[in-house]
A and B are shown apart, each in its own frame.
Chain A
């Protein structure tokens, strides 16, 4: 946890230091996953918190996105007489792209911000110092536990989001666009290949790292009292969102290289 003090550095210098520290934090928090104590109770508590904080908003976001997706594509491709492909479009868009990204963005806004605020206020009220003074490792106790909880919960939330989105799209297809249920079901299932499930679940794992580590890093490096906590919280949402988009793009590139040309 050795901190480099930012004296009067410019934005590039600060950016470089933040990147370096984020990288160190990633390595450390992963390393501590395999050391004792395991803080099992804390991890469970965090998993519960993450679920409670974000489930309803994930459901809402993905359900409406699924419906809108079906409506938009429905009216567009109906003109080409390709209405039967709506199920395919909705399923692939949700599982490959929208499910993981929307869930991650929502969780970054709820959970990531919460982590930054909590750790930030612990930092400015000397609770982190107290933890270190009592010979515990704040990275292991606070960061690793939250990282593990997110690594478990974000994929689960993403799967739930995918399913709800597909259901939303299906409802619109059946009642508004007049498609047949069993036909919709079979095209949807046929459309989803194993690789979609794989890529759809690899993304939330990467996004979980981003949300947990950005939130924790900005929380732990908070300075400047209560105002600083506010800044860290906002910064964590902005930074995680940008990184989520960036890594989403990179992952799609990598997946295409892996599957399409392989």
Chain B
């Protein structure tokens, strides 16, 4: 369970988050929506403590991690997989080593076992056989999927996806949506999915949260979201529908 209470974060004079409250229950997939620049990526980074909140409390599995040091965060981070919006692959090592990163760092697995695991997660994202390629030789969508494989490799209990389907064709996006759903169901993973892709949101989400003006302005089930009469949400959905 992840519980965020009254999270504040600003950069210089720009107040990005001004009191976010959110709870993600065990095994649930929370979809976070919001306009570009509303602070969705910042929120994910705050959960992993890649940056620290100005105020507020973050509770992960009954532990208040708000004041944790880097060292104390290690076991918390080992439970979590993060797909960065920018993929953030290590560009000095190949795909194989990128995906194997946490396995090499934190397990005593043999080369053979690691290769098998890498092959397995790459096949989840439909990218078998690119192990030897360098990240700079991949397309944008391929980078995203390698990064997703890297996030899955260590079998995290929490998965934070930052725009998993952005930049993918509809067919590949569908595979990724199914993967997110399957991962959650098969391994009882708790997930947060930041997305602008409404098809994806409705496919994977158990609950929706909309970030607007620095706070969660809507929180509820997908059906409640659809039924909302809030003019912003109505327009948000209408714009999404125009394309579909």
Asked if A127 meets B102 with Cβ closer than 8 Å, knowing A132-B77, A133-B80, the reply is: no
Across-interface contacts of B78 in A (CB, < 8 A): 135
B208 close to chain A: CB less than 8 A: no
The answer to the question of B90 belonging to the interface, with a C-beta cut-off of 8 Å to chain A, is: yes
A131 contacts across to B, CB distance below 8 A:
90
Whether the Cβ atoms of A125 and B77 lie closer than 8 Å is no
With A126-B84, A129-B50 known as contacts, the answer to whether A1 contacts B91 (CB < 8 A) is no
B109 within 8 A of A: no
CB of B52 within 8 A of chain A?
Answer: yes
Chain A's closest residue to B92 (CB) is A118
Interface assignment of B86: CB less than 8 Å from any CB of chain A: yes
Q: Interface code A122-146, partner B: CB below 8 Å = 1, 0 otherwise? A: 1001110111111111000000000
Contact of A132 among B50, B86, B102 (CB under 8 A): B50
B165-209 CB contact bits vs A (8 Å, 1 = yes)? 000000000000000000000000000000000000000000000
Contact A133 B82 (CB under 8 A): yes
The digit string for B92-115, where 1 denotes a CB below 8 A from any CB of A, is 100000000110011000000000
**B91's contact among A37, A125, A133, A135, by CB below 8 Å, is which?**
A125
- A141 closest partner in B (C-beta): B105
One of B88, B92, B105 near A126 (C-beta < 8 A): B88
- Of B45, B70, B102, B150, the residue contacting A137 (CB under 8 A) is B70
CA distance A130 to B73 in the complex (A): 14
Q: Is A79 at the interface (CB under 8 A from chain B)?
A: no
A253 near B: Cβ within 8 Å?
Answer: no
Do A2 and B52 touch (CB < 8 A)? Answer: yes
The residue on A at minimum CB distance from B75 is A135
Task: Give the docked Cα–Cα distance between A132 and B80 (Å).
Answer: 11
A135-B78, A135-B102 known; A129 vs B84 contact (CB < 8 Å):
yes
What residues of B have a CB within 8 angstroms of the CB of A136 in the complex? 101, 105
Bound: A37/B74 CA distance, A: 14
Cβ–Cβ contact B101 & A134, under 8 A: yes
Q: How far is the CB of A123 from chain B (nearest CB, A)?
A: 11
Choice from B12, B77, B92 contacting A135 with Cβ under 8 Å: B77
Residues of B within 8 A of A122 (CB): 90
26 contacts between A and B (CB under 8 A): A2-B70, A121-B91, A122-B90, A125-B88, A125-B91, A126-B86, A127-B88, A127-B89, A127-B90, A129-B84, A130-B84, A132-B48, A132-B70, A132-B77, A133-B50, A133-B77, A133-B80, A133-B84, A134-B77, A134-B102, A134-B105, A135-B73, A135-B77, A135-B105, A136-B105, A137-B74
Residues of B that sit less than 8 Å from A by CB: 12, 45, 48, 50, 52, 70, 73-75, 77-78, 80, 82, 84, 86, 88-92, 101-102, 105-106, 150, 154
Please give me the 6 A-B residue pairs with the lowest Cβ-Cβ distance, nearest first: A135-B77, A126-B88, A130-B88, A133-B82, A135-B78, A129-B50
